[in-house]
Amino acid sequence: MEFRATRPPTASHKTGAFVLFRAEQSRDLGRLPVPDTVLRKLAAAAWKAKEFTGKRGQVVALHGGAGGRRLLLVGLGPRKGVDGEALREGAGNAALDLDGRGVSSATFLVPALGDAVDLAGACVEGAGLALYRFDRLKSKAPKPALGRVTVAPERGTAPSVTAPVKRAAAVMEGVRFARDLGNLPGNIATPVYLAREARTLSGRGVSVRVHDRAAIKRMRMGAFAAVAQGSHNEPRLIEITYRCGKRGAETIGLVGKGVTFDTGGISIKPAALMEEMKFDMCGGAAVLGAVHALRALQLPVNVHALVPASDNMPDGKAYRPGDIIKARNGTTIEVISTDAEGRLLLCDSLVYSADKKPDCIINLATLTGAIVVALGDSAAGLFSNDDALLEELEEAGRETGERLWPMPILPGHDEAIKSPYSDLRNSGGRWGGACTAAAFLQNFVGDTPWAHLDIAGTAWNDRPRSYLRKGATGFGVRLLVEFLARRA
């Protein structure tokens, strides 16, 4: 999809449809900033007849404009509740409606309800996220009708929206990259495939280094190697350096879990819905998607990113419950469940990341079903050893609509992962599972400010929801870019 920015349109503006956003109890429907007299009158009549009320989620299509142009009236809900997320949802609803009607181009008018710059980006995100399709593996797939979206301020006094539209479009490409990786099946998106896709990001401040199985062992990553030993698909540790910040500027460490397919290993999962375990690499996909966006935006920051990628399979060589393995920092770990494999990939990667002396580390992982029980699909769990970092991430989540909810690591959670046979055990049992998993990871970051995002409930949808279709959501890409932009 192509996104453009322009000034407030005139009567000669060429488009298949105008999209106008209004909150409830708006008072200007009789003098709308639409450069089409007929459409303006139709909109006023729809408002007067209460066919359009501005209710959140409402979309009313009007026909009869010059050259067959349409007008979509999109409701944003109560005026006090209008924010970027409301506009994202409205833009997604409008894009799906227009695409279903076969409209090829549309002009979205940014309402004068707040920061026009922020709302312009939300328009692009809503439309781009809603119209994403993963159909590259179908023999026949219809092409989307809506191919071009122009974003313009309603009134001439509003600031230019060119910069936020360009930025949001670049971020959308990063999200698309992450969603494509997440939606690919495990027989295609193997660790080797992920590494190959990561290499395409090289250049423009990005360097990529890929470590194979032998290198992982040489790096003393015994936990990572143990998970990988049961799969014929070769593991890969993907290491990416992005340097566009000033020399001596802070470096942000990113780590994304990349389990390309998770059977549970010897502690095998139930058959029902196991096909969804192709999404167990969505943390890694989010990190790669964020780098994709950073490369395009050339944000002046420094990032060291890691994606430990492996299958988790029940082969004759697979690691077993009861095994004791050693992590890169020398910590010994009793394996209680081979289905608690993600934290074993992450722990070695966190130690390696901390060895690079970053100013902070953020890891993303579809780590526990327990976080889904706690938060559902409305927010990801946020754990941190640093209150300032936690607040920064929480604010970035509010801004992007990728919400995070702070969760605790309490002394009881640390106690639950102690083992009589080794330093730690990789599972603290059923109760407080998301918290005990976070407590486990905290042992591998030392004194580095660190945040763990458990995205198991938000990384993919099992049904269409709001402006996101079924499948991988790309959760974390927009959040990370927003966080890094603020740090820049």
- Catalytic one of 22, 40, 70, 343: 343
Closest CA to 250 of 356, 349, 160, 146: 356
3-state secondary structure of 444: coil
Respond yes or no: is residue 269 known to be catalytic.
yes
3-state secondary structure of 461: strand
Respond yes or no: is residue 217 known to be catalytic.
no
Strand extents, DSSP E, 82-215: 105-110, 148-153, 206-211
State the Cα–Cα distance between residues 335 and 327, nearest whole angstrom: 12
State the Cα–Cα distance between residues 282 and 293, nearest whole angstrom: 16
Which residues are within 8 A (CB) of 352 and not within 5 positions of it... i.e. 6 or more apart? Answer: 219, 221, 306, 328
State the Cα–Cα distance between residues 41 and 63, nearest whole angstrom: 11
Identify the bridge partners of residue 62 per DSSP, sorted by sequence position. 71
- Torsion on CA atoms 302, 289, 185, 380, rounded to nearest 10: 90
Strand bridging mode 302-312 / 236-243: antiparallel
Q: How far is CA 463 from CA 377, 468, 469, 470, in A?
A: 11, 9, 7, 5
Q: How many CA atoms are closer than 13 Å to the CA of 63, on its beta-carbon side?
A: 4
Strand extents, DSSP E, 205-280: 206-211, 236-243, 251-256, 258-262
- Whether 351 contacts 444, CB under 8 Å: yes
- Catalytic one of 209, 220, 243, 269: 269
Active site residues: 269, 343
